[in-house]
């Protein structure tokens, strides 16, 4: 039976490309919050847990919303438009928290103003839009990262380290699902195609990213979905095949209370991630008898893997941004930009198969 090592090495990061002037280490990193919706609130509440961070300014479409947000979270500057926020010289990094369909415009605005950017998932609507932003950030030598906090989560990082060490055997199957019942108005961003609605881009991005963390890029993708009358995917199921012979099955839903769990099955045992798998409190490794891949081997004692998590876990993506800005790294090795674009390509392919189209698809066509 394969037991987990008693002494696990520290979680280390191999530095990314250093192309920017490092921020001073003797003062907090100053954040500018672009939008005042649900995730902006959750994120700012978590920044408050970090001495390394302060919120310098907030921007909203409406001055009243910016003022109310600033009062609630003690933010010194509040702007009634996004442009003034990105141009504030007291802002080091802009956190883009608008609906996906607006990410391209808002990330571009912040990069053009010379700011580092952390942008919420889904990074954009299409791979072409993501590629455009990545090229712009690289051209300007500016930091850019998708807010895929699961990749920075200590438990997920530990799991990747354990899998990479070979201690858990070879990953042959990944299964993951995410979603909940979305009981909202048709104009809500989750249901509105003009805002990038749909289960795939909002929820499916996590199980797909999870599969890619352990299996890399798929060579085959096959998807089915049920669409709303407005044309966004309410339920989607995706089968992925890899050159190694491994497979993955991921689903996302806006109509059902799915388990929100994940598992990795290897030739030596299984890892179970309880819900919500994308920020797990811990995971369990259940070893089976080595080499008995086809038989009915008895499972060994399940072994828990735990890590210290600060707050809900958004802290760890913020700390990764701080680490990169203080070392002058323009791309996080934990959330590589090329992986973000590759993931967007998978979502493009899935949407093409199930018939979900956004206006941005038109722009992405050659000559479009």
Ligand X SMILES: NC(=O)c1ccc[n+]([C@@H]2O[C@H](COP(=O)([O-])OP(=O)(O)OC[C@H]3O[C@@H](n4cnc5c(N)ncnc54)[C@H](OP(=O)(O)O)[C@@H]3O)[C@@H](O)[C@H]2O)c1
* Nearer Cβ to ligand X (60/340): 60
CA-closest candidate to residue 110, choices 140, 80, 151, 131: 140
- Give the Cα separation of 214 and 283 in Å (integer): 15
Computed on alpha carbons and rounded to an integer, the radius of gyration of the chain in Å comes to 21
* Nearer Cβ to ligand X (56/102): 102
The β-bridge relationship of strands 171-179 and 247-253 is parallel
Q: What are the φ/ψ torsions at residue 114 (nearest 5 degrees)?
A: 85, 20
Compute the least distance from the CB of residue 108 to ligand X, in Å. 15
* Nearer Cβ to ligand X (2/192): 192
Residues that bind ligand X (CB under 6 A): 35-40, 60-62, 65, 97-100, 102, 120-121, 147, 149, 189, 195, 202
- Residue spans of alpha helices (H) in the chain: 38-47, 63-73, 82-86, 103-112, 127-140, 154-165, 199, 205-215, 314-327, 337-354, 359-364
CA-closest candidate to residue 357, choices 182, 102, 126: 126
Tokens of 167: 């201690």
Task: Give me the residue whose beta carbon is nearest to ligand X.
Answer: 37
- Per annotation, catalytic residue among 121, 157, 189, 278: 121
Compute the least distance from the CB of residue 26 to ligand X, in Å. 30
The β-bridge relationship of strands 220-227 and 233-241 is antiparallel
User: How buried is residue 356: exposed, middle or buried, by Cβ count under 10 Å (0-12/13-18/19+)?
Assistant: buried
Q: Under a CB-based contact definition with an 8 Å cutoff, are residues 60 and 35 in contact? A: yes
* Nearer Cβ to ligand X (109/247): 109
Compute the least distance from the CB of residue 97 to ligand X, in Å. 5
121 annotated active-site: yes
- Give the Cα separation of 110 and 93 in Å (integer): 9
Helix (H, G, I), strand (E, B) or coil at 77: strand
* Nearer Cβ to ligand X (131/196): 196
Q: Under a CB-based contact definition with an 8 Å cutoff, are residues 119 and 145 in contact? A: yes
Compute the least distance from the CB of residue 94 to ligand X, in Å. 13
* Nearer Cβ to ligand X (54/202): 202
- Give the Cα separation of 279 and 274 in Å (integer): 9
Compute the least distance from the CB of residue 221 to ligand X, in Å. 21
* Nearer Cβ to ligand X (167/182): 182
Compute the least distance from the CB of residue 122 to ligand X, in Å. 6
Compute the least distance from the CB of residue 17 to ligand X, in Å. 25
The β-bridge relationship of strands 283-287 and 303-305 is antiparallel
Q: Which residues are annotated as catalytic?
A: 121
């Amino acid at each position: 039976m394969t037991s987990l090592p008693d002494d696990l090495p520290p979680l280390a990061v191999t530095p990314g490309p250093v192309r920017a002037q490092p921020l001073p280490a003797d003062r907090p990193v100053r954040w500018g919050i672009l939008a005042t919706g649900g995730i902006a609130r959750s994120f700012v509440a978590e920044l408050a847990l970090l001495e390394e961070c302060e919120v310098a300014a907030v921007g909203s479409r409406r001055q009243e919303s910016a003022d109310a947000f600033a009062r609630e979270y003690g933010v010194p500057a509040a702007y009634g438009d996004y442009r003034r926020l990105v141009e504030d010289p007291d802002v080091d990094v802009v956190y883009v928290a608008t609906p996906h369909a607006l990410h391209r415009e808002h990330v571009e605005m912040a990069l053009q103003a010379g700011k580092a950017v952390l942008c919420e998932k889904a990074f954009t609507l299409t791979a072409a839009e993501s590629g455009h932003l990545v090229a712009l950030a690289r051209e300007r030598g500016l930091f850019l990262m998708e807010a895929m906090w699961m990749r920075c989560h200590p438990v997920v990082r530990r799991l990747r380290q354990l899998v990479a060490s070979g201690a858990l055997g070879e990953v042959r199957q990944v299964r993951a699902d995410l979603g909940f019942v979305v009981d909202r108005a048709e104009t809500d961003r989750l249901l509105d195609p003009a805002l990038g609605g749909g289960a795939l881009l909002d929820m499916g991005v996590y199980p797909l990213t999870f599969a890619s963390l352990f299996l890399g890029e798929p060579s085959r993708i096959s998807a089915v979905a049920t669409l709303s009358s407005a044309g966004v995917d309410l339920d989607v199921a995706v089968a992925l095949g890899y050159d190694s012979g491994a497979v993955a099955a991921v689903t996302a839903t806006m109509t059902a209370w799915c388990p929100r769990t994940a598992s990795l099955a290897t030739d030596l045992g299984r890892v179970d991630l309880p819900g919500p798998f994308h920020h797990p409190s811990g995971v369990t490794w259940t070893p089976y008898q080595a080499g008995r891949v086809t038989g009915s081997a008895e499972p060994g004692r399940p072994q828990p893997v735990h890590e210290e998590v600060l707050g809900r876990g958004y802290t760890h993506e913020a700390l990764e941004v701080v680490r990169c800005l203080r070392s002058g790294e323009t791309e996080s090795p934990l959330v590589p930009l090329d992986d973000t674009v590759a993931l967007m390509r998978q979502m493009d392919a899935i949407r093409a198969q199930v018939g979900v189209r956004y206006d941005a698809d038109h722009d992405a066509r050659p000559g479009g």
